[in-house]
Structure 1
Amino acid sequence: MKLQTIVVALAATLASGAGIAADYKPVTDARLANPEPENWLLTKGNYAGWSYTALNQITTANVAKLRPVWSAATGVNSGHEAPAIVNGEYMFVATPHNHVFAYNAKTGKPLWHFQREVPEGIGALHRTNRGVALWNDKVYVGSVDCMLSALDAKTGKLLWDAQVCDWETESAYITSAPLVVKGKVLIGPSGGEFGVRGFLKAFDAETGKLAWTRYSVPAPGEPGSETWPQEGEWKDAWKNGGGTMWMPGNYDVKNDVIYWGVGNGAPWLGDQRPGDNLYLASVLSLNPANGNIVGHFQYHWNDSWDWAGMNAPTLVDFDRGGKKVSGLISAQRNGRLYWLDRDAKGKISYKKSEPYVTNTVFTSIDPKTGRPTYNEDAKPATGKTRTYCPSLWGGKDWPYEAYNPQTGMLYIPYNDNHCLTLTGMIQERIPGQWSAGVDINRLDLSVKEGFDHIGGIQAWDINTGKEVWREKYPHSWNWGSILTTAGGVLFAGGTNDKMFRAYDAKTGKLLWEFPTPSGIISPPSSFSIDGKQYIAVVSGYGVDAQWIQGKMHTLAGWDEKVPEGGSVWVFALGD
């Protein structure tokens, strides 16, 4: 018997009779397609990626009465980046180092705990996890050692494992939350800095059998392969070209089309893989039945800045001349906010884009295609030392933006006024070792002289294309996803002062804040039980946020570290 199975069986036995939740309601395709507001069944709340709840008990008028109902320590350090997923009275939280915890969502009492051992010698840059997925009576979670596991939702018992990648030979690892679409579990690995060729895999949700694989970098002869070197020194660059698909995608239920983001190039230096390099730094639209590509848009060609396009754009309808137009909107790492159109078949076309932070690389944008032209002095290259802004963490890193259909606004957790200087080099690809073409110990982060802030939140009207309000954080980056509500409230963490905050979604006015034991870099979520609305968030600083905090200590005198240690927090209105 596997060790992790023993751990789960014991935990489930101990939990019996000690706060066990009510009967578990199976999560069907119909429920995922139209999730009820009282639950939080998907990482971003719905398939469209809105990070929005239709619950409205908590409003701008009463949010100041929000109080903690319960909290629970995970006992795990490092960056906690997974939201609390809720179905009825069951809450599921994934953490770094291959843990999944189940709690009674109303009381916080533990139900079960699953742990998969992390193998010795694994070279993953991050051992974090961005969440679980639900379907039928199962909980699905990826692990840093490249496995997809299906657990019994009531007990945590391991039902099956499926191998997604090979961490020993491919150097890939998993940090992404899975996405379940029509009985298939979709997940892709991280590992671009190790020279992994990106892909997405779909597994049968009932059996774990592999259904299909879609590579993001085309092999010779496949559509898009002509954008990679065909001969000469770099002709095999596609084999280890990057484009890992390390964040969950979104899904157009009506038209049965998946939208998935594609990461950065490998190595980072574009002159070692000349060409546009499809489909790096792109969004792909896919047929969920077979993984076939039906459309794409590339945010920038020949990616040389680690500006991964890993977050799928949010699915929205634009009001254009009194007509509803199906579209996509996305604040990308390269510092531009993109408006894209999509048709019923999944074809994607460029409409426009606007800068939301400073970009020193793009000199112009083609108004018809969205293709940028570059300042070559700001493009990293082999044997060259170059500086560019924003730095590799971009105008927005992996945290989720949020869309509120009532305000018509997109809310962006952003970072500005930061740049990076690096020197390009040729690095041999050795499995499990850094091979991005730059010295990982010589990533020279800098901030603009006289900067007044780094992090903040921006609110944009998706129809007018104008910024409506902005909150600036003078002494912090923003590493937190956003939740917006039908009650007109916006919830966000992300700052180094450990605060969880509520804002007026229309004006940006700060309405409430609460200090947690550590920094918050996980997405907030909302649910209701017995007619009472709750807000949940997981606190736990680490990974890039902690690394940057150390850099800012040197650059700006900020506190050197933020306390680590994970804990789940659930809030509701007081009397």
Structure 2
Amino acid sequence: MRTHKTLAILGALLTASAMAAGPTPDYKPVTAARLANPEPENWLLTKGNYAGWSYTPLEQITPANVKRLRPVWSAATGVNSGHEAPAIVNGEYMFVATPHNQVIAYHAKTGKVLWKFVREVPEGLGALHRTNRGVSLYGDKVYVGSIDCMISALDAKTGKLLWDAQVCDWEKDSAYITSAPLVVKGKVLIGPSGGEFGVRGFLKAFDAETGKLAWTRYAVPGPGEAGFETWPQDGQWKDAWKNGGGTMWMPGNYDAKNDVIYWGVGNGAPWLGDQRPGDNLYLASVLAISPDTGNIVSHFQYHWNDSWDWAGMNAPTLVEFNRSGKKVSGLISAQRNGRLYWLERDGKGKITYNKSEAYVTNTVFASIDPKTGRPTYNEEAKPATGKTRTYCPSLWGGKDWPYEAYNPKTGMLYVPYNDNHCLTLTGMVQSIVPGQWSAGVDINKLDLSVKPGFDHIGGIQAWSVDGGKEVWRQKYPHSWNWGSILTTGSGVLFAGGTNDRMFRAYDAKSGKLLWEFPTPSGIISPPSSFSIGGKQYIAVVSGWGVDAQWIQGKMEGLAGWEKAVPEGGSVWVFALD
């Protein structure tokens, strides 16, 4: 580990210093106050604000004039694979993280490269995905996780490596990082991926100035901790908790007013629940966490004894909604299991179930308790050891990792969804060996299927948060949807996610298509918006790959779709002509 780390640091320092020649713009430090109330002209957080809205108040680009949107600049990132990070903007600085441990700083208005940071990827690293979902900002630093389990702090103006800290151990545990960090109260929070390798999930908090570890919170409780009783206590599977999954591989959201973090927890490991009998807290859950201590304040589990790889890693969006004539502080989330959840939260972070609705077909849930939200199961659709079972939606869920968006003016939640797909798999017992797949199924025998006569897979749904009903829907007859959504104060909705490489704008109230633009590759990164000198810009990173590309290959045989989408990353920035 020491040799790999030293080489990575030296390589990063050399690359950053080589790119940073010449004058650079001024940089305004990012404070806790700015993160809690970000200016409309900047995009300081992965989802735009702590609440996770993926919304900009900017109104210059409207449904009436969006057809005049034109590219201002574009730039190649120089790498392939899936680009899943948004463009983060502070003043004239734009930061884009890419696959293969790279961060590029651009001049946001012109596209000039200000600096580039590259950490060498160690030989032998076995990550399933070499993607990155973004950077975070605080003070005069940029924070980024790496697939070799490090969290790094970079000088925002030069890209110089200031400190790094080890989050996980890729050689020993096969963990790796794809998540964007989240900075809360001077702490940098991040968790690893790796559930399919038997990683026990956790979240760590580091001092933003020094990199010193502040606390660690495991998603799967150990002996003596609350929730441990939901794991096997004896017998063949009594040690299941040690490799139980629950990796926390997506950034959370934060209630700054009440000082509570909400973080999503991933799927169980192995996938087969009969190898870890019990509810298995806190798999497939949302946790309310104290940012000071990492203590769990409350939780809600979307489904118990997860056996479908329906990870609950997407943190719910913080909203307020009306119930019985009263405003309720709530959480809303379209989960991978195919249900859209309305949860309530109080000032201390206690989470309670309000309601849920199916937004895609689910063949697993036989019923839902209307008071608790707890499902009962159709056992014939629950994967198990030595059994071949089929369930819908498939493991990619009604919505995979891409972000939904909430618009406070329309009162709608916009969901990028996929329907009419199922998965058949046969369960087995697999040994946990570092660097080897151990999910309890043969990865080469995952049998994806589509419903006979299906009219579409992907699309966008708009739901009324107060009314709890779907308002409109856009269907994609020949594509899945792998794209996050951005919505604006003027009522425009931006989205990519389709295999035709298009970046699109819709009317947020009606769903009408208003504009589209073809990029060189498909778009699976979240769009963002910013303004400089009074001019509004829309930014998005194009770069197809990872699961989206794998599924595309499967759909060739299932539906005759084109086998592959061109790969290759590029940043695109648009404004009105």
TM-score, length-normalised on structure 1?
Answer: 0.99
- 1:14 deviates by 4.4
- 1:220 deviates by 1.5
Amino acid at match of 2:504: R
The 1-side partners of 2:189 and 2:57 are apart by 26
Amino acid at match of 1:409: M
Where in structure 2 are the equivalents of 1:469-480 lying within 5 Å?
Answer: 469-480=472-483
Q: Determine if the alignment matches structure 1 residue 90 to structure 2 residue 87.
A: no
Which of 69, 72, 94 aligns to 1:69? It is: 72
Tell me the equivalent position of 1:456. 459
The 1-side partners of 2:465 and 2:43 are apart by 25
Tell me the equivalent position of 2:376. 373
Which of 366, 385, 388 aligns to 1:385? It is: 388
Tell me the equivalent position of 1:224. 227
Deviations 1:121-175 (A, max 9, x none): 1110000000000000000000000000000000000000100000011110000
List runs of 5+ in structure 2 lacking aligned partners: 1-5
- 1:540 deviates by 0.1
Identity %: 85
Q: Say which SS state the counterpart of residue 171 (structure 2) adopts.
A: coil
Tell me the equivalent position of 1:536. 539
Q: Say which SS state the counterpart of residue 169 (structure 1) adopts.
A: helix
The 2-side partners of 1:256 and 1:282 are apart by 20
Q: Say which SS state the counterpart of residue 530 (structure 2) adopts.
A: strand
Tell me the equivalent position of 1:146. 149
- 1:322 deviates by 3.5
Q: Against the structure 1 CA distance between its residues 355 and 10, is the aligned structure 2 distance closer, same or farther, given a 3 Å change threshold?
A: closer
Which of 427, 438, 444 aligns to 1:441? It is: 444
- 1:256 deviates by 0.1
Tell me the equivalent position of 2:561. 558
- 8 Å Cα contact 2:86/2:525 also seen in 1: yes
The 2-side partners of 1:411 and 1:155 are apart by 37
List runs of 5+ in structure 1 lacking aligned partners: none
Where in structure 2 are the equivalents of 1:308-457 lying within 5 Å?
Answer: 308-457=311-460
Where in structure 2 are the equivalents of 1:230-241 lying within 5 Å?
Answer: 230-241=233-244
Which of 162, 165, 170 aligns to 1:162? It is: 165
Q: Say which SS state the counterpart of residue 306 (structure 2) adopts.
A: coil
Amino acid at match of 2:165: A
- 8 Å Cα contact 2:16/2:160 also seen in 1: no
Which of 102, 105, 128 aligns to 1:102? It is: 105
- 8 Å Cα contact 1:410/1:460 also seen in 2: yes
- 1:28 deviates by 0.3
Amino acid at match of 1:152: D
The 1-side partners of 2:10 and 2:483 are apart by 33
The 1-side partners of 2:12 and 2:126 are apart by 25
Q: Say which SS state the counterpart of residue 370 (structure 2) adopts.
A: coil
Moved over 3 A (4+): 1-15
Q: Say which SS state the counterpart of residue 352 (structure 2) adopts.
A: strand
- 8 Å Cα contact 1:382/1:426 also seen in 2: yes
- Count how many residue pairs are aligned between Structure 1 and Structure 2: 572
- 8 Å Cα contact 2:384/2:427 also seen in 1: yes
Q: Determine if the alignment matches structure 1 residue 190 to structure 2 residue 176.
A: no
Deviations 1:241-273 (A, max 9, x none): 000000000000000000000000000000000
Q: Say which SS state the counterpart of residue 173 (structure 2) adopts.
A: coil
Amino acid at match of 2:365: F
Which of 271, 274, 291 aligns to 1:288? It is: 291
The 2-side partners of 1:309 and 1:167 are apart by 23
The 2-side partners of 1:98 and 1:187 are apart by 16
Tell me the equivalent position of 2:3. none
- 8 Å Cα contact 1:413/1:478 also seen in 2: yes
Amino acid at match of 1:536: A
Q: Against the structure 1 CA distance between its residues 375 and 327, is the aligned structure 2 distance closer, same or farther, given a 3 Å change threshold?
A: same
- 8 Å Cα contact 1:202/1:212 also seen in 2: yes
- 8 Å Cα contact 2:231/2:240 also seen in 1: yes
Amino acid at match of 2:224: G
Q: Against the structure 1 CA distance between its residues 3 and 125, is the aligned structure 2 distance closer, same or farther, given a 3 Å change threshold?
A: closer
The 2-side partners of 1:156 and 1:167 are apart by 25
Q: Say which SS state the counterpart of residue 483 (structure 2) adopts.
A: coil
Q: Say which SS state the counterpart of residue 75 (structure 1) adopts.
A: coil
- 1:320 deviates by 2.4
- 8 Å Cα contact 2:186/2:208 also seen in 1: yes
- 1:329 deviates by 0.1
Q: Against the structure 1 CA distance between its residues 8 and 219, is the aligned structure 2 distance closer, same or farther, given a 3 Å change threshold?
A: same
Which of 18, 21, 39 aligns to 1:16? It is: 21
- 8 Å Cα contact 2:11/2:120 also seen in 1: no
Where in structure 2 are the equivalents of 1:102-141 lying within 5 Å?
Answer: 102-141=105-144
- 8 Å Cα contact 2:19/2:116 also seen in 1: no
Tell me which moved more, 6-15 or 102-111.
Answer: 6-15
The 2-side partners of 1:93 and 1:379 are apart by 40
The 1-side partners of 2:345 and 2:26 are apart by 40
- 1:323 deviates by 2.5
The 2-side partners of 1:64 and 1:117 are apart by 42
Which of 493, 500, 508 aligns to 1:490? It is: 493
TM-score, length-normalised on structure 2?
Answer: 0.98
- 8 Å Cα contact 2:263/2:286 also seen in 1: yes
Tell me the equivalent position of 1:45. 48
- 8 Å Cα contact 1:192/1:198 also seen in 2: yes
Q: Say which SS state the counterpart of residue 72 (structure 1) adopts.
A: strand
Deviations 1:86-142 (A, max 9, x none): 000000000000000000000000000000011111110000000000000000000
